[in-house]
Structure 1
Amino acid sequence: MIKTVAVIGSGTMGNGICHLFAQHNFKVTLIDVNHNALDKALTTISKNFDRQIAKQTFTEEQKIHALKNITTHTDIKNGVENADLIVEAATENLDLKLSIFKDLDQYAPAHAILASNTSSISITQIAAATNRGDKVIGMHFMNPVPVMKLVEVIRGYQSSDETTAQIMTLSASLDKTPVEVNDYPGFVANRILMPMINEAIYTLYEGVAGVYEIDTVMKLGMAHPMGPLQLADFIGLDVCLAILKVLQDGFGNPKYAPCPLLVNMVNAGYKGIKTGDGFYKYTPGSKDLVVSEKFKRS
């Protein structure tokens, strides 16, 4: 039975996953090499609990109890030594993930399940860095983790039926809807989503319509809650680019080639919300959706 959880990485996804498990009364160790990043993550988690309290879906007493479930660590060896489940939520970089999983295989208890929150990197390839491939699986949460219902549970080539069943049951216990998928580039979510986002960027790149117009068509015509260009900013343009490259490399199909505009934007440092500028301009404290100066139509 899974009672204690370690989360590797305290960024947006990592702190969201930590929040979720702590809220459901699991003991969670949040691990990051950076003390400041851990402090920032705890502040974010506390503020997100406050939002739940404001919506009357959580109480102050529950918040206090949930925060007590969280400990932090900067050392992976000591941070995972008692964990039943480790969820890796580090940067979407294959070499980094392989290094982390080699360490986890060495330091985590023999019974522990090793999961990755990767949005596109092969679970089979990650598992090959360990000696417990049957206990390696994908748990792809959606952002924001405490709100979004889906967990994409990705079976690697070696993932056992027992491990898969445990993670499916665990995800349901977190009030999520788990969907089991097989390990191919992009899985299901990003294999479908990223080509759509890329096509929206091509539509802008080729001058068919502007940022506002493209997003409005998709919101009002296809009932999407957020237009694809705004969603790309929200995900991170660098993340979108990385996933498209995984799809392109994995399938060898030119239809997944990232739009040159996306490549240029990432190379120039325009990565969306995280940098304050992408297809839209983001001002701290403002909820107004303002098209970036580079894409405003005269």
Structure 2
Amino acid sequence: MGNQIKIGIIGAGAMGLLYAANLAEKADLTLFTRREEQANALKQKGISLIDNGTTKTIHINAVVVTDTAALSKQQLLIVAVKQYSLLEILPLLQAVPVETPMLFIQNGAGHLENLPLLGEKRTILVGISEHGAGRENDTTVVWRGHGRTKYSVYQGELDVSLEDWLNSVPDFPVEQHVNYLEIIQGKLFINAVINPLTAVLGVRNGELLENPEWHKLLDLLVEEMETVLPVQNGALKVKEICRVTANNFSSMALDKKYGRKTEIDGIVLPILEKAEREGKTLPTLRTLYHIIKGLEGESNV
């Protein structure tokens, strides 16, 4: 392991566990958790990855994210926390040596405004994950849908050895793209339609196509989105995701179901603000936004 590249993954939710489980064999990997209890459990039990009914155990190193010495030893940090947790860990990220590149894989676009706070000399990558995953407990993750990771250079220059490493796991494909806004906006379009609608209705993704009235709502949201965030074949892409992930609940639907804070501000709010700047109204999307924010208030999350 001494010759392996040192990779740190910040965040041990569904995505953090999934990425750690798939990348551990190719790196000297450390998973950074918010709670010491979870870090201890991961060190003792490893990660249980459930994929198509088969469970595999992957042994990893895990420490709490406040361990700044461990953070500073990494050659690449993959930041996999949710949008609303980024500000909490921003001081920790700012303290990491500027030579350490960071790859951000968040839903939405709200995190983009905070990236300049990490310094203009740091190499920053932004990406999206097409994987579907659900965390069962502190050490168990279910791989609900296989996809790809797409990333682009936001600023700086990526070392060739890191670029090669990112492409080193064929079963967990990573693609580099030229335009970071293109990949962010493509997923943002899909998330802003499916996530709030399934969260409010409390349904699986596929039900948006099966129920005629909900299908009409989906079409209405797509029409609104196209006025401010034009994406080529946006409607087809949204419906394809609904079909491919028909039996899955969106992350926002699961957050609402379990009384957790959602990523509504990171996914929908930037679109509403863009529409307002352009003098456009998105009545359906704005209604869903306020319903979800209101439900969060009722749950005190």
**TM-score, length-scaled by structure 1:** 0.64
Quote the Cα distance in structure 2 between the aligned partners of 1:203 and 1:89. 25
The 1:166–1:140 alpha-carbon spacing in structure 2 relative to 1, beyond 3 Å, is farther
Quote the Cα distance in structure 2 between the aligned partners of 1:72 and 1:103. 14
Q: Could you tell me which of 97, 103, 125 is aligned with 1:137?
A: 125
The 1:154–1:41 alpha-carbon spacing in structure 2 relative to 1, beyond 3 Å, is farther
The 1:152–1:44 alpha-carbon spacing in structure 2 relative to 1, beyond 3 Å, is farther
Residue 244 of structure 1: CA displacement? 0.9
Matched, 1:216 2:210: yes
Structure 2 equivalent of residue 187 of structure 1: 184
Contact 1:6–1:86 (CA under 8 A) maintained in structure 2 = yes
Identity score, percent: 10
Structure 2 equivalent of residue 30 of structure 1: 31
The 1:114–1:233 alpha-carbon spacing in structure 2 relative to 1, beyond 3 Å, is closer
Structure 1: where are the runs of 5+ without partners? 205-209, 276-298
The 1:15–1:55 alpha-carbon spacing in structure 2 relative to 1, beyond 3 Å, is closer
Matched, 1:97 2:94: no
Deviates more, 1:120-129 or 1:13-22: 120-129
**More strand per residue: 1 or 2?**
2
Contact 1:118–1:139 (CA under 8 A) maintained in structure 2 = yes
Quote the Cα distance in structure 2 between the aligned partners of 1:36 and 1:86. 22
The 1:81–1:199 alpha-carbon spacing in structure 2 relative to 1, beyond 3 Å, is closer
- SS of the aligned residue for 1:36 comes to helix
Q: Which amino acid aligns with 1:155?
A: V
Q: Could you tell me which of 171, 174, 179 is aligned with 2:169?
A: 174
Contact 1:18–1:30 (CA under 8 A) maintained in structure 2 = yes
The 1:53–1:143 alpha-carbon spacing in structure 2 relative to 1, beyond 3 Å, is closer
- How many residues matched? 249
Quote the Cα distance in structure 1 between the aligned partners of 2:107 and 2:48. 26
Quote the Cα distance in structure 1 between the aligned partners of 2:267 and 2:247. 15
Q: Which amino acid aligns with 1:36?
A: E
Structure 1 equivalent of residue 12 of structure 2: 10
Matched, 1:226 2:258: no
Matched, 1:267 2:262: no
**TM-score, length-scaled by structure 2:** 0.63
Q: Which amino acid aligns with 1:226?
A: T
- SS of the aligned residue for 1:112 comes to coil
Residue 199 of structure 1: CA displacement? 8.6
Quote the Cα distance in structure 1 between the aligned partners of 2:197 and 2:247. 7
Quote the Cα distance in structure 2 between the aligned partners of 1:259 and 1:202. 14
- SS of the aligned residue for 1:129 comes to helix
Q: Could you tell me which of 79, 84, 88 is aligned with 2:70?
A: 79
Please show how residues 46-65 of structure 1 align to structure 2 within 5 Å.
46-48=47-49, 51=50, 55=54, 63=57
* Deviations 1:185-242 (CA, angstroms, capped at 9, x unpaired): 98134332034327956997xxxxx998534267xx8571234994365564522453
Residue 5 of structure 1: CA displacement? 1.1
Q: Which amino acid aligns with 2:177?
A: E
The 1:16–1:178 alpha-carbon spacing in structure 2 relative to 1, beyond 3 Å, is same
Quote the Cα distance in structure 2 between the aligned partners of 1:32 and 1:232. 19
The 1:213–1:254 alpha-carbon spacing in structure 2 relative to 1, beyond 3 Å, is same
The 1:168–1:233 alpha-carbon spacing in structure 2 relative to 1, beyond 3 Å, is same
Quote the Cα distance in structure 2 between the aligned partners of 1:35 and 1:250. 39
Structure 2: where are the runs of 5+ without partners? 134-140, 216-238, 257-261
The 1:132–1:86 alpha-carbon spacing in structure 2 relative to 1, beyond 3 Å, is farther
Structure 2 equivalent of residue 249 of structure 1: 273
* Deviations 1:149-196 (CA, angstroms, capped at 9, x unpaired): 31120332x333x35x66654332132141425344981343320343
Quote the Cα distance in structure 1 between the aligned partners of 2:247 and 2:272. 20
Residue 92 of structure 1: CA displacement? 0.7
Matched, 1:112 2:100: yes
Quote the Cα distance in structure 2 between the aligned partners of 1:120 and 1:211. 18
Quote the Cα distance in structure 1 between the aligned partners of 2:45 and 2:297. 24
- SS of the aligned residue for 1:178 comes to strand
Residue 77 of structure 1: CA displacement? 0.8
Q: CA RMSD in A?
A: 4.3
- SS of the aligned residue for 1:47 comes to strand
